[in-house]
Amino acid sequence: MGASEPHGRKREADAIAELPAGPRAGTSSSLVLRGEPGIGKTALLDHAAAAAGDMRLVRGPGAEIPDTTCQ
């Protein structure tokens, strides 16, 4: 486990570590995280920023989207 890898999130951290390979090969890439408050989305985004290295990173604010599936 790397120093910046979020604890207990190896699968997610491994997937994030692979993201920069696409843009370096000339294809686009994006990452969207969804989930309940407090599950570590910000830690995963911080990990993604670290994995990007010298690449340009665009990070936008989060927005709460109401769950309409339970109506």
Q: What is the pLDDT of residues 2-23, one digit of tens each?
A: 445 667 788 888 888 888 888 8
pTM above 0.85, yes or no: no
Q: How far is CA 70 from CA 37, 38, 46, 67, in A?
A: 19, 22, 32, 7
pLDDT reported for residue 4: 56
pLDDT digits (tens, 9 = 90+) for 10-67: 888 888 888 888 888 888 877 788 888 888 888 888 888 888 888 888 887 877 777 7
Indicate the Cα dihedral angle 39, 44, 45, 51, nearest 10°.
180
Give the domain ranges of the chain.
Answer: 10-52
How far is the C-alpha of 24 from the C-alpha of 41, rounded, in Å?
A: 24
**3-class SS of residue 7:** coil
